[in-house]
Amino acid sequence: MNTSSLTWTVDYGAGPQPCSVPHAWRQDVDVRWEGPAVYRTKLAVETEDQWLVFHGVSYRAIVSLNGEVAIDHKGIWDAFSVRLPVGLVDVRVEVVKNGGATYPVKDVLSGFLPYVFHTFGGIFREVEVVHSDAQPFGDGSGNLIKSPRIGVAGTKLFIDGQPWFMRGVLTWGWYPAVGAPHPPMELVRDEVRRVRDLGFNTVKFCLWLPPHHYLQVLEEEDMWAWVELPLWMPTGDEEKLEAMFAEVERIVRQYRHHDRIVCWTCGCELSESTPHGYRKRLFEMVRELTGCPLVKDNSGGSEMYGGDLREYGTFYDFHPYCDTMFYPPVLDSLMPGPRKTMPVMLGEFNDYDVYRPLAGLRERRPFISDPEHPWINREAASIRSCENYWASSDPRLNDQGVRWLHDLPSVLADPQKELPPDIEEHLSEESRSRCGWIREFVTNEVAARDAIAGYIVTGIADTPISKSGVLGDPLHSPGSRDLSGVFDDLTFFVVPFRMPPWVDGGNRPGWWDSSRRFTGTQTIQIGARSVRGFSGEIHLIWENDLYEAQSVHVSLPPDTPAVVADLTIELREGPATLWIKAEGRDKLFGFQGYETLEWKQLPQWSVEDPLGLVGGNRTGEGEGVVTCTGSLPSQGVALLSVDGTVALPFWRENVSWNQSGERFLGCWDDLLPVSTDRAIDPTWLDFRLPGAEWLLTRVDTRTYARHPYLARKGHTVVTTLRPWGGLGAQPYGLAHNPAGCELLRILMSLSASG
């Protein structure tokens, strides 16, 4: 019997108020308030075999029946129960949430939600009356385990004996309209169907436990689950760690019967916060209780996040968050090599924060008219109707808590961060375009690496600390974002040719650019990977019949990347689009032919380049100068690499605002081989080149700070872009970088026309 029809009240200390359960007290009171809040109800009990089951209370619940304490339970994520006496029963539940002085975040299994927004308190999941001879959930035994559906052979995964590749998306349990990680069935179904339609087959519950009906919906929609237990940055106190261990065991026993769970991790990015022996015990306990072939002690791993290098698990789990040009070599560095043969899983990766326009946030911020009133409950209805309470500058609604990123309130109050609505809309569109391009590039790189058996994209929804949700803002998203790069059952990619350059007496790692090529004879290799295997014709057709079409018969074994086609063409200057068609699937690749840059054909230009980045020192006949030394020529181009710069990622957490009018500077494929890990310091630029016009601007999508990548005053052009490449998978040296040659021509043209 569900008790939703019962009349409940909640008392925050100023008298009881009606409420309905499930209930989280949210902005009814100061968000910093830990309680205790007192819930009460009455129910009639007719037989002695009835139990009152609480499916989730945050955090401590002291349950009294007719004035006598029946249970004192601590724990957010596990269910518990009390036997009901026959007759009319007065139920009183005193609740204290985590995050305050009594139960600090790190002292309990808080998960990651306190770092997303804040802690939550209340009877946030269902309460029901069940008939049972034995105590339900009394010892945490829950339901018995089912046989795992997932199988592992070497580095490969199988579901019910069939080859399978995990394509997952991460959720932190952020549901701002609900106020607690307990989405109702209809919201779950909509969420699951939307991510499934984007090509995902798995949801990773990162550091929280979903309601059981979420796993039911996954089964109905033929989706799968990765459960990551809510251990993150815990205290080092041994007694508290043991209490967490016991709670983890109760959780696992209550969830292990779901055969849609194909992977378990005992915690996340634990670094130095847990001893290796503790992690080993967690791993062994979860492995024994579940029988699951995929169990890991620490998602992210010590090799990537520090800590004792003794790790325990049946698969490798890494969280690469890279600037895009570094993804290929970083993924290479994570391959097993001589280590034990196990699947490589990317337990979090490939995030991208889109630009969230500030104007709408300002319009929908909550406002409290009575700053002296200690309780917010008088205005709770209007607060709840406001979408962006997490953007408020009032700490009672939006306290920083343990969040390391809490910039938005100050950003919204800063008039210097304001941009015209049309510019904000442009940046929003540009960032969505960039998001789709980055994710496609990265998933193509994943497809090319045989040992990778699955990945988890961060994440499902935008949150107060990130804007990387594949479904956008959970409150007012216009629709799902472009994610054309999700790994399909059959996917194609361009295989880059290796080009280790000779530098200072020896070779360095290096590759040719996959899509930007010099004109003339070019060979293009196409690779493919099919999860279930593929045998059939592949058609390679150039748009507008620019080059000769080809058809090849391909036989791919299951889940094994391979080269399927070699194309040799006489590449002309300009764009060329290749369509690959197979079994109703279409994929296109864009190529661009650029001419080499020959300094002997530019006698009017001098070069100051002691390191040989763009060709070495030379003296020209004109006034134009290209300098790599940090000096600013009165006429020419200054390529900055250290002086006058600040270290900032080019692709992550920002969008490039192209104000130059140059197509090249707004094309992601062109920018990839010349992108940089530094921006121009605006203070330095104002001092050295006052009044300079910004032509390419980095706009941070978290802090909204702006830094120039390219600026011009008169005939002087300065930039941190790298025509010589050399970062990550970029071609090394101007002579090997077609896009770099084109960029340098553009920079010299901007100088000449200034």
Domain that holds residue 58: 8-131
**612/555 same-domain check:** no
Looking at the domain assignment, is residue 725 inside a domain?
A: yes
Looking at the domain assignment, is residue 699 inside a domain?
A: yes
**367/287 same-domain check:** no
- Which residues, at least 6 apart from 201, have a Cβ–Cβ distance to it below 8 Å? 164, 166, 167, 168, 223, 224
Rounded Cα–Cα distance for residues 440 and 672 (Å): 13
Q: Are 458 and 349 in contact (CB under 8 A)?
A: yes
* Residue written as token pair 């040296």: 733
pLDDT attached to residue 480? 52
Angstrom CA distances, 724 to 108, 650, 700, 716, stand at 51, 16, 25, 20
**26/106 same-domain check:** yes
Looking at the domain assignment, is residue 507 inside a domain?
A: no
CA-nearest of 137, 158, 163, 156 to 148 is: 158
Residue 744 sits at φ, ψ, to 5 deg, of -65, -35
**630/588 same-domain check:** no
Rounded Cα–Cα distance for residues 157 and 168 (Å): 14
* SS3 of 702-737: CCCCEEEEEEEECCEEEECCCCCECCCCCCECHHHC
Rounded Cα–Cα distance for residues 586 and 539 (Å): 10
* Residue written as token pair 């390219």: 710
Sign of the alpha-carbon torsion through 422, 425, 431, 433: negative
Tell me if residue 78 falls in helix, strand or coil.
coil
Looking at the domain assignment, is residue 136 inside a domain?
A: no
pLDDT tens profile 555-579: 999 999 999 999 999 999 999 999 9
pLDDT attached to residue 385? 44
pLDDT attached to residue 138? 65
Q: Are 231 and 268 in contact (CB under 8 A)?
A: yes
- Half-sphere exposure of 224 toward its Cβ, with a 13 Å CA cutoff? 23
pLDDT tens profile 394-453: 888 889 999 988 888 899 888 889 899 999 999 999 999 999 999 999 999 999 999 999
**728/743 same-domain check:** yes
**588/618 same-domain check:** no
**570/623 same-domain check:** no
Rounded Cα–Cα distance for residues 579 and 542 (Å): 6
* Residue written as token pair 């724990």: 75
pLDDT attached to residue 373? 45
Output the six-digit token pair for 507: 């070779």
Looking at the domain assignment, is residue 68 inside a domain?
A: yes
List per-block mean pLDDT (blocks of 10 residues) for the chain, which spans 754 residues: 76 93 88 95 94 97 98 97 96 97 97 95 96 80 73 97 96 93 96 93 98 97 98 94 97 95 96 93 97 96 92 97 96 96 97 90 64 46 58 87 89 89 93 92 95 95 91 66 64 94 91 96 96 94 94 95 96 96 89 94 93 90 92 95 95 95 96 98 97 97 95 97 96 95 97 90
pLDDT attached to residue 652? 93
**172/194 same-domain check:** yes
Residue 531: count of CB within 10 angstroms of its CB: 23
**325/417 same-domain check:** no
- Whichever domain contains 525, its CATH number is 2.60.40.10
**94/173 same-domain check:** no
Looking at the domain assignment, is residue 500 inside a domain?
A: no
DSSP for 549-582, please give it. Answer: -EEEEEEE-TT--EEEEEEEEEEPSEEEEEEEEE
* SS3 of 402-467: CCCCCCHHHHHCCHHHCCCHHHHHHHHHHHHHHHHHHHHHHHHHHHCCCCEEEEEEECCCCECCEC
Question: In the chain, how many domains are there?
Answer: 5
Q: Are 477 and 463 in contact (CB under 8 A)?
A: no
Angstrom CA distances, 470 to 47, 654, 697, stand at 50, 16, 25
**251/204 same-domain check:** yes
**68/169 same-domain check:** no
What are the beta bridge partners of residue 93? 39, 63
pLDDT attached to residue 274? 93
- Whichever domain contains 322, its CATH number is 3.20.20.80
pLDDT attached to residue 377? 45
Looking at the domain assignment, is residue 635 inside a domain?
A: yes
Looking at the domain assignment, is residue 326 inside a domain?
A: yes
